[in-house]
């Protein structure tokens, strides 16, 4: 975990928002040939010290419902971009945002406008209605 990539927002000592990102460790694990014994753990530590990880992945972005539409999301994105894309150069070359539902256009817009981000998945919500007499209602657009 790279602690520079994780943010928590508190209001009166209570957590109200979180944004968690993880470096793409697969860039380092590919050199271990699927093994993780003592020798490969040492090799992993050496690779971690000597090779740069060029990509990190957005895992969670969430705000408590009472604090949505109050600018907390914008605050986290602006403050996060100062760390992720400082004037001296970016920490990572690529940012991959995952698990954004097709019913969430606001997060899709954030992903498309964040800079060197790319979406590798487009998630669609499917449902199977066991009782065919019930009406199907798609998840509302947020």
CATH numbers and ranges of domains, the chain: 3-118 (3.40.630.30)
Whole-structure pTM value: 0.67
| Cβ–Cβ under 8 Å, residues 114 and 73 | no
pLDDT at 109 (0 to 100): 74
How far apart are the C-alpha atoms of 78 and 127, rounded to whole Å? 36
For residue 93, the 8-state DSSP code is S
Q: Which residue has the tokens 């690779």?
A: 47
Tokens of 39: 């020798």
Q: What is the pLDDT of residue 123?
A: 65
pLDDT at 46 exceeding the cut of 90 = yes
Percent of the chain with pLDDT over 90: 16
Confidence tier at 16 by pLDDT (50, 70, 90): very high
List the structure tokens of 114.
Answer: 């964040």
- Please, where are the H alpha helices in the chain? 26-29, 38-50, 72-84, 105-112
Residue 61: CB atoms within 10 Å: 22
- Least confident stretch, 27-36, 61-70, 116-125: 116-125
């Amino acid at each position: 975990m790279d602690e520079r990539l994780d943010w928590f927002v508190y209001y009166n000592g209570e957590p109200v928002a979180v944004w968690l990102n993880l470096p793409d460790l697969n860039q380092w694990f590919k050199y271990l040939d699927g093994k993780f014994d003592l020798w490969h753990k040492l090799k992993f530590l050496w690779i971690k010290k000597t090779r740069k990880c060029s990509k990190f992945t957005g895992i969670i972005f969430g705000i408590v419902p009472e604090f949505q539409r109050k600018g907390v999301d914008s605050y986290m994105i602006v403050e996060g971009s100062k760390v992720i894309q400082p004037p001296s150069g970016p920490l990572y070359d690529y940012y991959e945002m995952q698990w954004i539902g097709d019913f969430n256009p606001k997060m899709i817009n954030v992903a498309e406008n964040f800079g060197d981000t790319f979406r590798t998945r487009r998630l669609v919500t499917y449902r199977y209605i066991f009782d065919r007499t019930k009406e199907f209602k798609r998840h509302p657009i947020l």
